[in-house]
A and B are shown apart, each in its own frame.
Chain A
Amino acid sequence: MSFGSPYLTLPEFEYHRPETIDEVIELLQKYGGDAAVMAGGVGLLAFMKERLVSPAHVIDIKGVKQLRQTKYTAGESIRIGASVTLSELAANDVLRTKFPALHNAASWIADSIIRERATLVGNMCEAIPWVDSPAALIALEAKVEIAGSQGTRSVNMDDFIRGPVEIDINPGEFVTGVMVPDVPPRKSAFDKFNTGAEFSLATVAVSVTTGKERKARIVYGAVSTKPVRCAEAEKIVVEEEASRRTFRKAAEAASESVECVSDVLASAEYRRQLIHLITMRALERVFEK
C-alpha cells in the first residue's frame, strides 16, 4: 500500500450535512454504495484525493450533536461518539485515568493539528494496518456501535477489522460510536515505535483485569495486515507472577509468535525486535505501583 497520487483536487460529489442519526440513515439508504460518511475528514478526503474512493455523496456527520458526545457511566462503560475528536479525547481525564491504553493511543496519533479534526471512529474505520486506535480498542474489549435502516447492532472490535481497509459494515450502515466497557479493576497501557516515519512501525496495547481471575489481552498493531492478539504472551501474563522476568518472557514469546510483515516501513525481523521492547514497556506500565 503506497500513498501519493498525481491529484490535487477531489472528485465531484454532493455534500450533505444531516442533523440527526435518522437523517444519516435516510441518506445512506437513498444513495447506498455511492455514499461515504465523513467525520473529521482527514482520512476520507485523503483517500478521495488519491481516487482510492470516489463517493458521489459525502455525508458529514459533524452536525449530528449526539455523535459528538462522550458519555461515561461508572462501572458500565464509556461511549465515544463517532465525531469525537482525538484532541477532545486527549483532554478527557476519565479516559486518561480509567482507560489509559485508549487515551495514550488517541493522544499520540499523527500530530496535534490532525488530532483537532481526526476522530477516534474515523481512525479505526480507516483500518489501514498502521492506524493506532484498533489495537487499543481491541485490548479494552470495545464494541463498535453501528446504525442502519435495519436498526442498530454492536460488533466486537476484535471482529470489526477483517483486513486492510476491510471492516464489518454493510451498505446503508454507519458507525455511530464505540463502547468501551468499564470493568474495574483493569489496568491498561499502549505503546508504539515510530522513529523515522510518520506511521507506527509497531504498536502494542495491553489490558489486564484482576478481578476474580486475572485476564489479559495483548494486541499488536502495525506489524501485520490487521491487529493481532498474542495468546502466548497473554498466557504468561495471566499465569505468572508480575515481575520483570515475566514481562521479558511474555515479550520474547510475543516476539517469536506474532506474525509480522515486511513492508515499506520496516522488515518483519525488525518488527519482532520492536515487539519485544514495547511489550516490556507496556507491561511495566500496566503493573507499576
Chain B
Amino acid sequence: MSKIVLKVNGQTRRLETKDSELLLDLLRDGLAVKSVKAACWRGECGLCTVLLNGHLVKSCLVLAVEAAGGEVTTAEGIGSDGELAPIQKAFIEHGAAQCGFCTPAFAITLHELLRKNPAPAQWELEEAVRGLICRCGTYNQIREAVASASSAYAGAEKSQNLVEGSR
C-alpha cells in the first residue's frame, strides 16, 4: 500500500492505494466519484473516461499510482461556479441522455473537444467520440447538443454546419 495525494475536481484528496489498483477503482471505490462508469473494462466503450492532467484517458487502463500528484477531472467537475458546463446544459435541453450511463463520459469528452475546437466539423465530432458507445443511440441528440453549445465555447454565432436537416 502507498499513500498518494491527488486533486480530484479541484479538491485535494489523500488516500491509500496499491500498485495494482486501477484509477477507475480509486475514483469510484476510494473516493466515491460514481460518475465514472465501466462497461467493458477493456478500453472499448469509453465510459470510464476522465481527464488526467489535462488529457482524456480511459481510467480502466490507467493505474491509480500514475495519478499521484496529478489532477483528475470528472463530469462533476467540468462546470464552474457551481454551474453545469455549457455542454451539460445543452445535453439537458436537447434530450441527449437516455439511460444516462454513458453521459458523464460524453460530457467530459465533448467539453474537452469544444474547448479546443468550438465549432467542430461532423467528422471531427465523430472522431472525438469514436471511442465511446451510447447503446441507447442518443447520438443525434448529442449532435444537436454540441451544435447548440458551440457558441458558448466560442462566444461566437451558432455554428451552421452542425445542424444538418434534422427536424
Please indicate whether A and B come from the same complex rather than being unrelated chains: yes
Interface residues of A (CB under 8 A from B): 3-4, 7-15, 41-42, 45-46, 49, 58, 60, 62, 110-114, 116-117, 198
Interface string of B37-61 (1 = CB under 8 A from A): 0100111101001000001111001
Q: How far is the CA of A3 from the CA of B42 in the complex (A)?
A: 9
Say yes or no for B74: interface residue by CB 8 A criterion: no
Using A114-B131, A117-B57 as known contacts, say yes or no to A198 and B44 having CB atoms under 8 A apart: yes
Q: How far is the CA of A15 from the CA of B2 in the complex (A)?
A: 11
- Extra 5 A-B pairs, beta carbons < 8 Å, given A60-B63, A114-B131: A8-B38, A10-B22, A42-B58, A110-B131, A114-B43
Instruction: Give the shortest distance, in Å, between B161 (CB) and chain A (any CB).
Output: 20
Using A9-B20, A113-B56 as known contacts, say yes or no to A15 and B63 having CB atoms under 8 A apart: yes
Instruction: Give the shortest distance, in Å, between A1 (CB) and chain B (any CB).
Output: 14
User: Does A113 contact B109, Cβ atoms closer than 8 Å?
Assistant: yes
Say yes or no for B130: interface residue by CB 8 A criterion: yes
Closest B-chain residue to A11, C-beta based? Answer: B20
Q: How far is the CA of A11 from the CA of B49 in the complex (A)?
A: 22
Closest B-chain residue to A85, C-beta based? Answer: B55
Instruction: Give the shortest distance, in Å, between B146 (CB) and chain A (any CB).
Output: 15
Q: How far is the CA of A13 from the CA of B130 in the complex (A)?
A: 32
- Find chain B residues with CB under 8 A from A9 CB: 20, 22, 25
Q: How far is the CA of A53 from the CA of B20 in the complex (A)?
A: 14
Q: How far is the CA of A11 from the CA of B21 in the complex (A)?
A: 9
Q: How far is the CA of A10 from the CA of B46 in the complex (A)?
A: 18
In B41-96, the 8 Å CB interface with A consists of 41-44, 46, 49, 55-58, 61-63, 65-66
Interface string of B14-25 (1 = CB under 8 A from A): 000011111001
User: Does A113 contact B46, Cβ atoms closer than 8 Å?
Assistant: yes
User: Does A116 contact B55, Cβ atoms closer than 8 Å?
Assistant: yes
- Main SS of chain A's interface residues? loop
- Find chain B residues with CB under 8 A from A8 CB: 38, 41
- Find chain A residues with CB under 8 A from B66 CB: 41, 60, 62
- Find chain A residues with CB under 8 A from B21 CB: 10
Closest A-chain residue to B22, C-beta based? Answer: A10
- Find chain B residues with CB under 8 A from A3 CB: 42
User: Does A46 contact B43, Cβ atoms closer than 8 Å?
Assistant: yes
User: Does B19 contact A15, Cβ atoms closer than 8 Å?
Assistant: yes
Instruction: Give the shortest distance, in Å, between A71 (CB) and chain B (any CB).
Output: 23
Say yes or no for B164: interface residue by CB 8 A criterion: no
Question: Could you list some 23 contacts between A and B, CB below 8 A?
Answer: A3-B42, A4-B42, A9-B20, A9-B22, A12-B19, A13-B19, A13-B20, A14-B19, A15-B19, A41-B66, A45-B22, A46-B42, A60-B63, A111-B130, A112-B131, A113-B46, A113-B49, A113-B57, A114-B43, A116-B56, A116-B57, A117-B58, A117-B62
Q: How far is the CA of A113 from the CA of B22 in the complex (A)?
A: 17
